[in-house]
């Protein structure tokens, strides 16, 4: 724990900002049918997968890049990106952790997730995605015993084609919006989870994403299926090295919960946010969508967003099954020149569906933060209810905090309630804390953590501690 | 529609006596409108209720030409008796009478205004349409320190000649320092299927007070759009109240610029809808300097096949510290076919502010109904009582006692 705390101390100047010197195999720059065929070919994908990609690409060619969001960014040249980048030594996939390239392992150690260590100590199964290829999946034996499938997407396509075929693209179809469609065409890897009927996953599953190569877009695709009566808690963490140019991250995450199943999905996102002057950083344009397909199912999103130059994502729940529940807990922190436009969508289709949204936004420095959410109660969603609370905290008068909720209620049996407040840390609170011996920064940290408590509580234990520290670190230098 | 617009515009050019300069300005706005057309749901501000679609569904053959040279007969039976008041009477979009008989004539000036090109980029094509087709417009100036003794009622009347027509009208109001005006807009329609487009400009100097009440109560099959642009200087107060019930479609847009310290804006609204009606209120409050205040309360009661929408936006500039902004929208849905949409939006760039919004919608509370019925009321009475109580809350916000009474009587909350 001590070393971990020390590591976090070093976070002051983005501690994950190292690059690993590994030879990469790259597809040539650009986006065209050949690149897609190249990706599909190198991954030895079956034909139906290639067709899936090509269909998406056909659609992509017709789509226009959206421009309604609040944070504007310079135009991305999609032809000037690498769509595939894999460490060279991965060509012959290692059979176990010992066979991994030592340099790779070192990278993970620097990140604070030694694969073996963490697997053993925390009992967490980690699937680490390095640029575009999933490096190794730990803790496989334990999971297999329960019949749980937890592997990389490429492996799932090879070994479990029926499941992938059945569910991939059912929540985020190939005909979705611009970035999701791009992902469908060029996605490289990601995680695949299948929890069989009645199984309660004995440990937290976790993925670690890292963008290493420069000028690379990361397009991973995650698919989680919880069969009838099962439960899974899944956590993803993200980092990227410091680079001057902006990097694009456009992932797709699909969750499917069948009857009585529950999925808990937590994210701690700490991509490189750019330097103090807003140079560089990740564009985090992710599509996350969960489908409560069965009766009494539940999907819960928890996110702590502290990184990225621009965060633009709306983890959503489609509440299709009767009595299903959707939850969204979010902390988004922007400092310096970071921008975030995030929130959620709750689409109520089934009867007696319930949703809850708690969103906490904190903006400091020159940053801009927007909560944008949709609550849509369909005319057939009898007796549904939604509660939304979104609070914003402003630090300084150079930053902005915005709230844009869309509320559509088409059912007279249903209740929708929405509350939002915007304020700053009061002088009294600060004064009180300082009087008790805290310095101003500690005082702000304490107050902000109190402000975020409702969301932090939702995170799995180990990550709650880290997230809490991350919150404090992200705001450093914003007071005074 | 393009051809129709051009033909109708040329007709106006021939019969009217606008100066060449005015015609040129109008023409430029007409071209802008032809280019953009009626707003549709692709535009964020028109997301919930698409006026383009509503116009083409309800009025297929809309024409834009009105002959303003013909005098219309005034039917005095529609005047409001319970309240002594000044009058402006619009019939079919033509001013028939301006009557300030209760006031000191020296303190009020009625100026025939000419058109100017608005430099600010407005992307509301209905304003372009308004400028292109409205008749001569007047500016009413209330001089320094003068408060109107009686409220001014603007009657908006239409008769059967107006079927399938677009009516555009515009009035400007200038309230000089420390003056005050109470203004009631009252709508009575004898025609069907027309589209009325109203554009008001208010300029409030220091310490001026404006109270504007819009009453759309009598049932009719028309579409209406009203835009209030209010600019406020130091210490001024604006109060806007909308009772939105009678027309098939009514969208009220209120844009308030709080440009002076300690200025404040209050907007209250009621939607009481039944039978396929679709109404909307959209507000934008721009807090541009420090110590300004805004308060909004919107309540809806929605019956069969109705739809109401509230889009409220509070913008707080980085200079506008100590802003106090509040929005609350509530809706009762009475039928399974009713629909409520809300988009309460906050855009805040200053840190020392107090801004919040709330929105709630649902059906009538069964427990309350049960309670009232156990006290001997029948279901209908119980429901009526609860709805009246719900709406009374908004009426009570009206600061003028006389007008509050008048409204209560009109809505049936008081005998």
- CB neighbour list of residue B335: distance below 8 Å, 6 or more residues apart: A412, B302, B303, B304, B305, B306
Least confident of A36-40, B249-253, B317-321: A36-40
Confidence (pLDDT) at A8? 42
Confidence (pLDDT) at A23? 59
CB of B148 within 8 A of CB of B182?
yes
Chain B contacts of A379, Cβ < 8 Å?
336-337, 339
User: Considering only alpha carbons, which residue of chain A is nearest residue B336?
Assistant: A412
Is pLDDT at B305 greater than 50 in this prediction? yes
Is pLDDT at B49 greater than 60 in this prediction? yes
- Cα–Cα distance between B136 and B110 in angstroms, integer? 12
What mean pLDDT do residues A348-356 have?
94
CB of B226 within 8 A of CB of B251?
yes
DSSP string of B29-63, one letter each residue: HHHHHHHH-S--TTSGGGSSS-HHHHHHHH-SS-B
Residue with more model confidence, A61 or B13: A61
- Identify which of A405, A412, A422 has the shortest CB distance to residue B343: A405
For residue A296, what is the DSSP state? T
Residue with more model confidence, A79 or A25: A79
Say if the Cβ atoms of A405 and B354 lie within 8 Å: no
CB of B137 within 8 A of CB of B130?
no
- Cα–Cα distance between A402 and A422 in angstroms, integer? 9
The answer to whether B365 contacts chain A (CB < 8 Å) is no
Residues 20-79 of B with CB under 8 A from A: 44
Confidence (pLDDT) at A123? 41
**Adjacent-strand bridge partners of B324:** B293, B354
What mean pLDDT do residues A286-310 have?
91
Is pLDDT at B263 greater than 90 in this prediction? yes
Report phi then psi at B205, rounded to 5: -80, -175
Q: How does residue A479 score in pLDDT terms, banded at 50, 70 and 90?
A: low
Chain A contacts of B343, Cβ < 8 Å?
404-407
Chain A contacts of B335, Cβ < 8 Å?
412
- CB neighbour list of residue B370: distance below 8 Å, 6 or more residues apart: none
Confidence (pLDDT) at A11? 41
Map residue B148 onto helix, strand or coil.
Answer: coil
Confidence (pLDDT) at A203? 80
CB of B260 within 8 A of CB of B235?
yes
The answer to whether B301 contacts chain A (CB < 8 Å) is no
**Adjacent-strand bridge partners of A304:** A268, A331
CB of B146 within 8 A of CB of B182?
no
Confidence (pLDDT) at A454? 86
- Distance of residue B376 Cα from the nearest chain A Cα, in angstroms: 25
CB of B241 within 8 A of CB of B271?
no
Chain A contacts of B271, Cβ < 8 Å?
none
CB of B95 within 8 A of CB of B89?
yes
- Cα–Cα distance between B90 and B87 in angstroms, integer? 10
Start-to-end C-alpha separation, chain A: 31
Q: What is the pLDDT of residues A374-433, one digit of tens each?
A: 999 998 999 999 999 989 988 888 889 999 999 999 988 889 999 888 888 888 888 999
What mean pLDDT do residues B313-318 have?
93
Residue with more model confidence, B12 or B338: B338
- Identify which of A379, A396, A416 has the shortest CB distance to residue B361: A416
Confidence (pLDDT) at B113? 74
- Cα–Cα distance between A167 and B264 in angstroms, integer? 55
Q: How many CB pairs under 8 A join A and B?
A: 114
- Distance of residue B300 Cα from the nearest chain A Cα, in angstroms: 12
Confidence (pLDDT) at B367? 93
Say if the Cβ atoms of A402 and B347 lie within 8 Å: yes
Q: What is the pLDDT of residues B78-95, one digit of tens each?
A: 888 888 999 999 888 888
Q: What is the pLDDT of residues B171-225, one digit of tens each?
A: 999 999 999 999 999 998 888 888 999 999 999 999 999 999 999 988 988 999 9
- Distance of residue A337 Cα from the nearest chain B Cα, in angstroms: 14
What mean pLDDT do residues A295-316 have?
90
Is pLDDT at A2 greater than 70 in this prediction? no
Best B343, B348, B352 member to test A by mutation, with max A CBs in 10 Å, is B348
Least confident of A227-231, A321-325, A440-444, B338-342: A440-444
Confidence (pLDDT) at B396? 93
What mean pLDDT do residues A283-311 have?
91
- Cα–Cα distance between B176 and B236 in angstroms, integer? 10
- Identify which of A395, A412, A419 has the shortest CB distance to residue B363: A412
Rg for chain B, CA atoms, rounded: 21
Chain A contacts of B337, Cβ < 8 Å?
379
Confidence (pLDDT) at A152? 81
Q: What is the pLDDT of residues A359-373, one digit of tens each?
A: 999 998 899 999 999
Q: What is the mean pLDDT of chain A?
A: 80
A415-424 and B94-99 as β-strands: parallel, antiparallel, unpaired? unpaired
- Distance of residue B280 Cα from the nearest chain A Cα, in angstroms: 13
- Residue where the block lists tokens 């001014």: B152
Instruction: Pull the structure tokens for residue A107.
Output: 């990278």
Say if the Cβ atoms of A407 and B361 lie within 8 Å: yes
Confidence (pLDDT) at A101? 54
- Helix (H) / strand (E) containing B303: none
Report phi then psi at B99, rounded to 5: -130, 105
φ/ψ bin of A43: left (φ > 0), alpha (ψ from -120 to 50), beta (otherwise): alpha
- Identify which of A419, A422, A423 has the shortest CB distance to residue B358: A419
What mean pLDDT do residues B31-59 have?
88
Burial of B83 (0-12, 13-18, 19+ CB in 10 A): middle
The answer to whether B318 contacts chain A (CB < 8 Å) is yes
Chain B contacts of A412, Cβ < 8 Å?
333-336, 338, 362-363
- Distance of residue A376 Cα from the nearest chain B Cα, in angstroms: 9
User: Considering only alpha carbons, which residue of chain B is nearest residue A367?
Assistant: B349
- Cα–Cα distance between A380 and A411 in angstroms, integer? 7
Instruction: Pull the structure tokens for residue A238.
Output: 């993200």
What mean pLDDT do residues A134-155 have?
74
Report phi then psi at B200, rounded to 5: -115, 140
Confidence (pLDDT) at A94? 44
Is pLDDT at B260 greater than 50 in this prediction? yes
Best A396, A420, A428 member to test B by mutation, with max B CBs in 10 Å, is A420
Say if the Cβ atoms of A402 and B360 lie within 8 Å: no
What mean pLDDT do residues B273-291 have?
94
Chain B contacts of A402, Cβ < 8 Å?
345-348
| SS3 per-residue string spanning A181-201 | HHHHHHCCECEEEEECCCCEC
- Distance of residue A155 Cα from the nearest chain B Cα, in angstroms: 42
Instruction: Pull the structure tokens for residue A55.
Output: 């269909």
Q: What is the pLDDT of residues A151-190, one digit of tens each?
A: 888 888 999 999 999 999 899 988 888 999 999 998 888 8
- Cα–Cα distance between A108 and A130 in angstroms, integer? 10
Confidence (pLDDT) at A117? 43
Residue with more model confidence, A428 or A480: A428
- CB neighbour list of residue A54: distance below 8 Å, 6 or more residues apart: A33, A36, A185
- Identify which of A408, A418, A422 has the shortest CB distance to residue B358: A418
DSSP string of B102-123, one letter each residue: TS-GGGEEEEEE------S---
Q: What is the pLDDT of residues A32-91, one digit of tens each?
A: 888 888 888 888 889 999 999 999 999 998 888 888 888 888 888 888 877 877 655 444
Chain A contacts of B294, Cβ < 8 Å?
none
Q: What is the pLDDT of residues A237-288, one digit of tens each?
A: 765 555 556 778 888 999 999 999 999 998 888 777 877 777 878 888 999 9
Is pLDDT at A211 greater than 90 in this prediction? no
What mean pLDDT do residues A356-361 have?
93
Map residue A302 onto helix, strand or coil.
Answer: strand
């Amino acid at each position: 724990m001590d070393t971990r705390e020390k590591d976090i101390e070093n976070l002051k100047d983005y501690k994950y900002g190292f690059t690993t010197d590994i030879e990469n195999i790259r597809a040539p720059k650009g986006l065209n049918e050949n690149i897609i065929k190249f990706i599909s070919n190198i991954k030895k994908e079956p034909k139906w997968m290639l067709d899936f990609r090509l269909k998406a690409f056909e659609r992509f060619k017709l789509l226009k890049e959206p421009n309604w969001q609040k944070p504007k960014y310079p135009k991305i040249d999609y032809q000037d990106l690498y769509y595939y980048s894999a460490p060279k030594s991965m060509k012959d996939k290692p059979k176990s952790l010992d066979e991994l390239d030592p340099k790779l392992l070192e990278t993970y150690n620097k990140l604070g997730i030694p694969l073996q260590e963490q697997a053993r100590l925390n009992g967490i199964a980690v699937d680490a995605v390095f640029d575009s290829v999933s490096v190794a999946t730990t803790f496989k034996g334990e999971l297999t015993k329960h019949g749980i499938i937890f592997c990389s997407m490429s492996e799932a396509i090879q070994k479990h084609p029926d499941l992938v075929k059945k569910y991939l693209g059912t929540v985020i179809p190939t005909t979705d919006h611009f970035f999701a469609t791009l992902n469908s065409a060029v996605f490289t890897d990601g995680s695949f989870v299948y929890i069989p009927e009645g199984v309660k996953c004995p440990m937290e599953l976790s993925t670690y994403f890292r963008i290493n190569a420069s000028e690379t877009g990361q397009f991973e695709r995650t698919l989680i299926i919880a069969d009838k009566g099962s439960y899974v808690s899944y956590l993803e963490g993200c980092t990227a090295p410091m680079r001057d140019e902006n990097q694009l991250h456009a992932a797709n995450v699909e969750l499917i919960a069948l009857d009585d199943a529950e999925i808990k999905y937590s994210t701690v996102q700490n991509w490189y946010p750019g330097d103090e002057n807003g140079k560089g950083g990740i564009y985090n344009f992710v599509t996350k969508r969960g489908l409560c397909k069965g009766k009494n199912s539940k999907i819960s999103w928890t996110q702590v967003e502290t990184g990225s130059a621009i965060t633009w994502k709306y983890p959503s729940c489609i509440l299709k099954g009767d009595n299903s529940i959707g939850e969204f807990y979010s902390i988004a922190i922007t400092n310096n020149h970071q921008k975030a436009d995030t929130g959620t969508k709750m689409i109520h289709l089934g009867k007696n569906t319930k949703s809850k949204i708690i969103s906490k936004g904190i903006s400091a420095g020159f940053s801009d933060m927007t909560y944008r959410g949709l609550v849509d109660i369909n005319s057939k969603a009898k007796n549904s209810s939604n509660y939304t609370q979104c609070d914003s905290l402003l630090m300084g008068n150079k930053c902005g905090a915005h709230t844009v909720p869309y509320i559509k209620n088409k059912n007279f049996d249903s209740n929708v309630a929405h509350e939002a407040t915007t304020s700053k840390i009061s002088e009294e609170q600060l004064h009180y804390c300082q009087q008790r011996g805290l310095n101003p920064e500690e005082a702000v940290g304490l107050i902000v953590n109190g402000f975020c408590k409702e969301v932090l509580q939702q995170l799995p234990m180990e990550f709650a501690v880290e997230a809490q520290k991350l919150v404090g670190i992200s705001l450093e230098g914003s007071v005074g | 529609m393009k051809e129709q617009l051009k033909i109708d515009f040329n007709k106006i050019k021939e019969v009217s006596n606008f100066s060449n300069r005015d015609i040129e300005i109008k023409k430029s706005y007409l071209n802008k409108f032809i280019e953009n057309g009626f707003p549709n749901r692709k535009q964020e501000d028109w997301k919930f209720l698409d006026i383009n679609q509503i116009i083409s569904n309800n009025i297929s053959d809309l024409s834009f030409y009105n002959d303003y040279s013909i005098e219309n007969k005034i039917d005095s039976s529609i005047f409001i008796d319970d309240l002594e008041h000044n009058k402006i009477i619009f019939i079919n979009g033509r001013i028939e009478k301006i009557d300030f008989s209760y006031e000191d004539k020296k303190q009020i000036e009625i100026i025939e205004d000419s058109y100017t090109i608005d430099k600010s980029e407005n992307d509301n094509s209905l304003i372009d349409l308004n400028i292109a087709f409205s008749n001569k417009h007047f500016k009413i100036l209330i001089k320094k320190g003068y408060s109107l003794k009686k409220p001014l009622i603007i009657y908006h009347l239409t008769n059967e000649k107006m079927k399938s027509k677009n009516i555009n009208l515009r009035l400007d109001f200038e309230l000089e320092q420390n003056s005050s005006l109470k203004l009631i807009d009252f709508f009575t329609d004898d025609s069907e299927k027309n589209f009325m487009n109203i554009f008001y400009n208010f300029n409030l100097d220091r310490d001026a007070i404006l109270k504007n009440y819009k009453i759309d109560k009598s049932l009719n099959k028309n579409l209406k759009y009203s835009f209030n642009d209010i600019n406020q200087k130091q210490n001024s107060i604006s109060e806007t109240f909308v009772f939105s019930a009678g027309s098939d479609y009514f969208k009220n847009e209120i844009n308030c610029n709080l440009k002076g310290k300690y200025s404040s804006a209050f907007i209250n609204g009621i939607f009481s809808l039944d039978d396929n009606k679709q109404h909307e209120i959209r507000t934008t409050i721009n807090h541009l300097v420090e110590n300004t205040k805004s308060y909004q309360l919107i309540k809806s009661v929605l019956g069969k096949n109705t739809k109401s929408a509230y889009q409220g936006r509070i913008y707080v500039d980085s200079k506008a510290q100590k802003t106090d902004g509040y929005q609350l929208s509530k809706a009762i849905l009475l039928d399974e076919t009713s629909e409520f949409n809300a988009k309460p939006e906050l855009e805040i760039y200053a840190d020392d502010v107090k801004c919040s919004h709330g929105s709630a919608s649902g059906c009538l509370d069964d427990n309350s109904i049960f309670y009232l019925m156990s006290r001997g009321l029948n279901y209908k009475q119980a429901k009526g009582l609860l709805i009246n109580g719900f709406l009374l809350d908004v009426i009570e916000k009206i600061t003028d006692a006389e007008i509050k009474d008048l409204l209560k009587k009109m809505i049936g909350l008081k005998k």
